[in-house]
Structure 1
Amino acid sequence: MSIPNIWHHRKVADNSAKGCEICFKPSTSVLVTPDKQDFFYVCPAHLKDRGFCSPIIDHDAVAAAKKKKEMDEEVERLKKEYEEKQRKKKEKEAEKEKDKDKDKEQEKDKKESKGKNDEKDEKKEDSTSNTKNQPDVEEEPRVFALQRLGIHLNL
């Protein structure tokens, strides 16, 4: 019975690290067969080596994840637009209710508070844009196929 050439990448706890089967350095990365009958420890650097293994990419899952990400971005953009429209609508209603005398005094207060709020909003937008630009840990390949060795023994 032969083992299929499909290996799933898993991480173990730091205190469970064992030596890599190739370079013997401590590693928390493990390649496991789908039925969990066989496993071996390997360094993450070896997983990037195309001579050792190649990732098996599920194109349907990648496309679905990309579509979901685009949908989430669109929803976020629409939420911001809606909140901006609601804020403007409330401002217009507030202006209609105020008298001219009160309007002048409150406009000064609003300008000061808007300046502070705008600065806070800009800081929030900057922090959210920074988190979106960071790569996800889950984008790494999770399934690999080991390469055949070109070594033939003549016995």
Structure 2
Amino acid sequence: MSFPNVYAHRKVAETSAKSCDICFKPSTSVLITTDSKDFFYICPSHLKDAGFCTPKIDQAAVEARRKKELDDEVARVKKEYEEKQRKKKEEKEKKDKEKKDKDKDKSKKDKDKKEEDDKKDKPEEKEAEKLTAAAAAEVAEEEEPRLFELKSAFYQQRLGRKRQIEMAKRNRERLQDPTFFPSVPKNLP
């Protein structure tokens, strides 16, 4: 009948919002036990209240996420470095071509093409910045703790409520059982 005092924070659809158990405002956040025996709706602001619950942080998951972020950053820096080296090599080749090429018209056309290429590269850089910003926002969302431990008073309240529900269910079953009530005496006195 008892369940662990470890609750996972989940979100539900806006259409499934129900009242918070604390303040009775509509909420889409749900705290559910890891074994799915108990759940209740709660406002996200209550999750930040130290008097209500404490977040349980999984150190291994935090370290794994940091390692992944570092690996992604290293890969991104390597890619940028390779692109810069490639661009430098292309510019050097263009300069060598321009030196060989004595025709001024051709050199002007090459400069125009180079300017156009630079203009084309800028939108790609903006897209890359947008993607990194979106990834940063995603990481910020993941940093929010997912597991919580209720304070003892609230946990005892949840246990009491669960016991009351179990008792009410048992009483209903007993009342429907015909052997629960005494039978009419069959003997004469």
CA pair 14-124 structure 1, distance change in 2 beyond 3 A: closer
Quote the sequence identity (%). 50
Separation in 2 of the partners of 1:104 and 1:97? 9
Match of residue 102 from structure 2? 100
TM-score using structure 2 length:
0.68
Match of residue 31 from structure 2? 31
TM-score using structure 1 length:
0.82
The structure whose residues are more often helix, as a share, is 2
Match of residue 149 from structure 2? 145
> Are 1:136 and 2:140 matched, yes or no?
yes
CA pair 130-107 structure 1, distance change in 2 beyond 3 A: same
Letter in 2 for 1:138: E
Task: Say what the alpha-carbon RMSD is for the aligned residues.
Answer: 2.5
Unaligned 5+ runs, structure 2: 155-189
SS at structure 1 position matched to 2:103: helix
Separation in 2 of the partners of 1:132 and 1:10? 21
Higher relative contact order (Cα pairs below 8 Å, separated by 6+ residues): 1
> Over residues 90-149 of structure 1, what are the superposed CA-to-partner deviations in whole Å (9 max), with x where a residue is unaligned?
222233344122563235425643663565466456545644654621211000000122
Separation in 1 of the partners of 2:114 and 2:87? 15
Runs of 4+ in 1 over 6 A off after TM superposition: none
> Are 1:44 and 2:21 matched, yes or no?
no
Look at both structures and tell me which one has the larger radius of gyration over its CA atoms.
Answer: 2
